[in-house]
Amino acid sequence: MTYYKSGDHSVICDRCGFKVKASETRKEWNGLRICKTHWEPRHPQEFIRGRPDHQAVYDPRPEGIDLFLDPNQVTSTDFTTTGKTDTTDSHAAWDGGLAIWDAAVSGGPSLWD
């Protein structure tokens, strides 16, 4: 744009590099002289201020005592302390959560046959 305008001078746009008149440019927030076609306003998200985060725990309580069971202890009342059921009635043995029927007592096929 090489033309004469009284009181106006030519400048180079910092974004596109074209020669424009100074009256057709705007100054961006970062100090660059930008022509009106390439000018962008500052993003509104940049003006948001953070709120303080309350780090304290609401209603704190002491940590409870850990209560562990023995490796073979079962909490059900159907089992004895050894972890086995009464085999006279049910003919089953407790083996890590699986009920294995005794084929000799029940007369049927075993799981292992």
Domain that holds residue 33: 6-37
Q: Does residue 24 form part of some domain?
A: yes
Q: For residue 15, what is the domain's CATH number?
A: 3.30.60
Q: Does residue 57 form part of some domain?
A: no
* pLDDT digits 0-9 by tens, 10-29: 999 999 999 999 999 999 98
The pLDDT of residue 91 is above 50:
no
The pLDDT of residue 94 is above 80:
no
Cβ atoms of 46 and 39 closer than 8 Å: no
* pLDDT digits 0-9 by tens, 58-87: 888 888 888 777 776 665 555 555 555 555
Q: Does residue 82 form part of some domain?
A: no
The pLDDT of residue 100 is above 80:
no
Q: Does residue 103 form part of some domain?
A: no
Spell out a b/e string for 33-70, using b for 16 or more CB atoms within 10 Å of the CB, else e.
bbbeeeeeeeeeeeeeeeeeeeeeeeeeeeeeeeeeee
The count of structural domains within the chain is 1
What pLDDT is recorded for position 83? 52
Q: Give the pTM.
A: 0.41
